[in-house]
């Protein structure tokens, strides 16, 4: 009885591995890029992200920054 359970478990595991769907990622070209100038070189930028509302947040050595009128300023 134990052998049957082990065999059935192995068969179901094998079937579940091969039945998974795969997603093929397709590259795309970027339409345009906005460029921003730093107001001063006294801080270093680490990362830039956008939220669901397309608001850009930038992490720097001075804290959290936001671009405004084509410049990135530290308040």
Report the pLDDT value the prediction gives residue 74, as an integer from 0 to 100: 65
| 3-class state of residue 18 by DSSP | helix
pLDDT tens-digit profile of 20-47? Answer: 677 888 888 878 887 877 777 777 888 9
Phi and psi of 26, rounded to 5°?
A: -110, 125
Tokens read off for 74: 């530290």
Strand order in the sheet with 45-50: 45-50, 56-60, 63-65
Residue with tokens 């956008």: 50
Report the pLDDT value the prediction gives residue 60, as an integer from 0 to 100: 87
Residues 6+ apart with CB under 8 A from 67: 36, 56, 58
Q: Is the pTM of this model over 0.85?
A: no
């Amino acid at each position: 009885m134990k052998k049957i359970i082990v065999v059935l478990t192995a068969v179901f595991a094998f079937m579940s591995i091969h039945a998974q769907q795969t997603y093929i990622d397709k590259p795309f070209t970027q339409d345009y890029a906005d460029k921003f100038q730093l107001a001063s070189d006294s801080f270093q930028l680490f990362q830039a992200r956008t939220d669901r509302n397309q608001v850009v947040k930038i992490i720097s050595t001075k804290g959290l920054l936001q671009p405004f009128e084509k410049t990135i300023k530290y308040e």
